[in-house]
Amino acid sequence: MNSERISSWILKGYLVLIFLFVFAPIIASVVFSFNSQRFPTIPLGSFSLEWYEKIFNDADIWTAARTSVIVAICTSILSTCIGFATAYTDYRYQFRFKGVFLALALLPPTVPLIILALAMLAWFSKIGISGQISSIIFAHTVLCTPFAMAIIRLRLSQMDENLEAAAWNLGASQWATMRTVIIPFTRPAIIASLCLTAAVSFDEFAVAWFVSGLNKTIPVVILEIVQGNIDPQVNAIGTLVFVISMTLVIIAQVLIMTSQKRDSIN
Amino acid sequence: MSDTLVEFRQVVKRFDDFVAVKSLNLSIAEGEFVALMGPSGCGKTTTLRMLAGLEKPTSGEIILNGRVMNDVSASERDTPMVWQSLALFPFLNARENVEFGLKMKGVDAPERRKRAIHWLERLDMGEFIERPVNQLSGGQRQRVALARSLVIEPKILLLDEPLSALDAHLVIRMQGVLSKLQKELGITFVYVTHSQSEAFAMADRVVIMGNGDVAQVGTSREIYRSPANKFVAQFVGRNNILGGSVSSIDGDLALFDTECGQFALRIPEGKTFQLGQLINISIAADRLRLQQHSDSAPKNKPMDTGTNQVDCTLISEEFVGAVVTLFFETKDGTELMVQVQERELDQLKVSQDTLYTLSWAADSAHLLSD
């Protein structure tokens, strides 16, 4: 009895340590972003919004933020559309080489980012669209579509196999069924996918750095700032990026979990 | 006889190598309640799905309302179905689920609403009109599914094991609801089930299917009293099946030898037997009479008395309520079952170490076709 309690406390302590290990750098970055001193040292100086003011007044950072937001929005819409189509194809149809089709569809995240980025750069310059915002969007769409597909596929797998047939049976054509049954059923997953792919695109550095040219995204700008000198602006940007990405990821998680829970009562 | 609504003409359905339905011929009249019954994999659900247009027959024709339906898509058939899983739309509430079919037909919103509410109220769901379907009980969801199919006022309703997910007491209640509804509406119900009690309780006509073939078509009583063949007798259950060869014929009685004795059978009209012919008979478990064996009784001669007797011992009993099934074994190991009323059980004083005599009249045995 007693030893059980001790081991339970040890395990809880272990868990706290792991979380600390994972989150300490992020917490440090957040803390230093509000620190008045230039160098990240302890003891801390006074509380200050200086670095936030600085980035808000920096035109380069605003441009990068605009690029990042445009890329994230376009990427999330494109990859969610393609991901939905792929997931529905897998759900609905049986065909030869379906295994190969699925493996190819899920492959991009397993390719090392540097290789993917280099290949993208070479390919985009070959077809003449390198260094544009659209090139980052295309590259990120390739990267994000498998995530979108996985999320929507999971949702479709929870669907009663007769639901589509029930709609046909009540006079709905294939398109009407898509509009009135499949899309409403997968809506939580579609929104989750939009959030998650936007977050992935917003954070992604390697591919963006290679293909962006002059249209830098936020992560690319951070690297450029860090390369020159130690600048606490980076902490401020990092904190904002972290908050935005986490919000998107949490929205996605909540949507996926609540829709699962709602169905499980059925 | 009213008009034919549905006709299956030599319908075959193959899935790759597997033959789900072998040359089905069946016609269903307008306003008839037909149950398709059989063990799983017998082709009953495939038959229903072909009628709904969800499977395409490999060959043959399905005619609905005088029109060949083979190439008509599921969404243009007006053959609504109540699914085993119900397949309600989880993101819609009860009323919106019921409105779905009308919406697809282009009925305008106020009319849709009025008709959906009318049907939900008719099925005692008036309190739950705006309730999300995942907050309804099994029985209530069943009613929504029924309303959803009936609101489009079809000539035929297909039901695929709709009660299999319900608790036993709800099944009985819903059986009542369905029977009453079918009579009031006068539309055709095609009801697929593996449950004999559901089929027998509701259907005007029961179609027993096995291995993709129709084994027997008839009213509940016909199937219960005169199973056509061994498969039906076994599937319906509570039938004792005895096989043997004809050893003598005297007038309309035939004597046949089985492993557990010689028995007499009244030869059905229009049948002729040859000596040595192999036959199978079934005797319903409630047609056997049970008494304690007595050595003093004169030896029974089936051909003279028209009564068959066999000695056996009790091996087990199965209590279901008002009726008890007793399982006996003869000296050679043949198992026989007898159904008796629970209240008779005390008088009979059944115990495992007594020898019993089972008897049945030569004309209560029923000749099977195989």
Average pLDDT, chain B: 90
Name the residue among A166, A158, A165 with its Cα closest to residue A186. A158
Alpha-helical regions (H) of chain A: 2-33, 50-56, 59-92, 98-106, 113-127, 133-157, 163-169, 174-177, 183-203, 206-211, 218-228, 233-264
Task: Summarize pLDDT for B282-327 with one digit per residue, the tens.
Answer: 999 988 888 888 777 777 777 777 888 888 988 888 887 888 899 9
Contact B286, B344 (CB under 8 A): no
Q: Which is more confident, B349 or B277? A: B277
Residue B117: HSE in the Cβ half-sphere, 13 Å Cα cutoff? 8
A225 burial via Cβ count (<10 Å: 0-12, 13-18, 19+): middle
B362, B363, B369, B370: CA torsion to nearest 10? -20
Residue A80: HSE in the Cβ half-sphere, 13 Å Cα cutoff? 24
DSSP SS3 for A41: coil
- What is the strand order of the sheet B81-82 is part of? B81-82, B156-160, B188-193, B33-37, B205-210, B213-218
Q: Around Cβ B244, how many Cβ atoms within 10 Å?
A: 20
Cα-atom radius of gyration of chain A, to the nearest Å? 23
Q: Do A172 and B100 touch (CB under 8 A)?
A: yes
Task: Summarize pLDDT for B202-258 with one digit per residue, the tens.
Answer: 999 999 998 888 999 999 999 988 899 999 998 888 889 999 899 888 888 888 888
Q: What is the mean pLDDT of residues B170-188?
A: 92
Nearest CA distance, B73 vs chain A (angstrom): 9
Name the residue among A252, A247, A167 with its Cα closest to residue B52. A167
Cα–chain-centroid distance for residue A244?
A: 10
With beta carbons under 8 A apart, name residues in chain B contacting A167: 89, 100, 104
Nearest chain B residue to A166 by CA distance is B87
Q: Which residues of B56-84 are buried (b: 16+ CB within 10 A; e: fewer)?
A: ebeebebbbeeeebeeeebbebbbbbbbb
Q: What angle do CA B94, A154, A141 make, to 5 degrees?
A: 120
| Distance from C-alpha of B7 to C-alpha of B26, rounded to nearest angstrom | 6
Residue B2: HSE in the Cβ half-sphere, 13 Å Cα cutoff? 12
Q: Do A173 and B75 touch (CB under 8 A)?
A: yes
Nearest chain B residue to A180 by CA distance is B100
| Distance from C-alpha of A69 to C-alpha of A72, rounded to nearest angstrom | 5
Cα–chain-centroid distance for residue B209?
A: 9
Contact B225, B58 (CB under 8 A): no
| Distance from C-alpha of A142 to C-alpha of A86, rounded to nearest angstrom | 13
Nearest CA distance, A164 vs chain B (angstrom): 9
| pLDDT for residue B1 | 47
| Fold designation for A58-265 | MetI-like fold (1.10.3720)
With beta carbons under 8 A apart, name residues in chain B contacting A162: 83, 85, 87
Interface probe, candidates A92, A94, A162, A170, chain B, greatest B C-beta count within 10 A: A170
Residue B329 main-chain phi, psi, to 5 deg: -135, 135
Nearest CA distance, B41 vs chain A (angstrom): 18
Q: Do B54 and A163 touch (CB under 8 A)?
A: no
- Concatenated DSSP letters for B324-342? EEEEEEETT--EEEEEEEG
ipTM of the shown complex: 0.82
Cα–chain-centroid distance for residue A203?
A: 7
| Distance from C-alpha of A216 to C-alpha of A225, rounded to nearest angstrom | 12
Contact A177, A241 (CB under 8 A): no
Q: Do B75 and A172 touch (CB under 8 A)?
A: yes
What are the residue ranges spanned by the domains of chain A?
58-265
Q: Do A171 and B52 touch (CB under 8 A)?
A: no
The alpha carbon dihedral of B283, B286, B287, B289 has a sign of positive
With beta carbons under 8 A apart, name residues in chain B contacting A173: 75
With beta carbons under 8 A apart, name residues in chain A contacting B135: 265
The alpha carbon dihedral of B128, B131, B136, B139 has a sign of positive
Q: Do A170 and B83 touch (CB under 8 A)?
A: no
Nearest chain A residue to B134 by CA distance is A266
Q: Residue count of chain B, please give it.
A: 370
- Concatenated DSSP letters for A159-192? S-TTHHHHHHHTT--HHHHIIIIIHHHHHHHHHH
B286, B288, B289, B292: CA torsion to nearest 10? -120
| pLDDT for residue B185 | 92
SS3 content of chain B, % helix, strand, coil (to 5): 30, 35, 35
Task: Summarize pLDDT for B118-155 with one digit per residue, the tens.
Answer: 999 999 999 999 999 989 988 899 999 999 999 999 99
In this complex, the residue of B54, B89, B134 whose CB is nearest that of residue A165 is: B54
- What is the strand order of the sheet B67-68 is part of? B18-29, B4-15, B59-64, B67-68
Q: What is the mean pLDDT of residues B257-283?
A: 87
In this complex, the residue of A169, A265, A266 whose CB is nearest that of residue B74 is: A169
Q: Do B90 and A169 touch (CB under 8 A)?
A: no
A179 touches chain B (CB under 8 A): no
The token pair at B27 is 């016609």
Contact B42, B50 (CB under 8 A): no
In this complex, the residue of A163, A169, A181 whose CB is nearest that of residue B52 is: A169
Per-residue pLDDT of chain A (266 residues; tens, 9 = 90+): 678 899 999 999 999 999 999 999 888 888 888 888 777 777 777 788 888 888 888 888 889 989 999 999 999 999 999 999 999 999 999 888 999 999 998 888 888 989 989 998 999 889 888 778 899 999 999 999 999 999 999 999 999 889 999 999 999 999 999 999 999 999 999 999 999 999 999 888 888 888 887 888 888 888 888 787 777 788 888 888 889 888 988 988 888 888 776 665 44
| Distance from C-alpha of A244 to C-alpha of A203, rounded to nearest angstrom | 10
The alpha carbon dihedral of B239, B240, B245, B249 has a sign of negative
| pLDDT for residue A51 | 85
Nearest CA distance, B165 vs chain A (angstrom): 12
A7 touches chain B (CB under 8 A): no
In percent, how much of chain B has pLDDT > 90?
A: 54
CA dist list (Å): B5 to B26, B79, B158, B185: 11, 12, 13, 15
| Cis peptide leading into residue B298 (ω within 30°) | no
| pLDDT for residue A1 | 60
| pLDDT for residue A266 | 43
The token pair at B76 is 């243009």
Nearest CA distance, A151 vs chain B (angstrom): 18
| pLDDT for residue B364 | 85
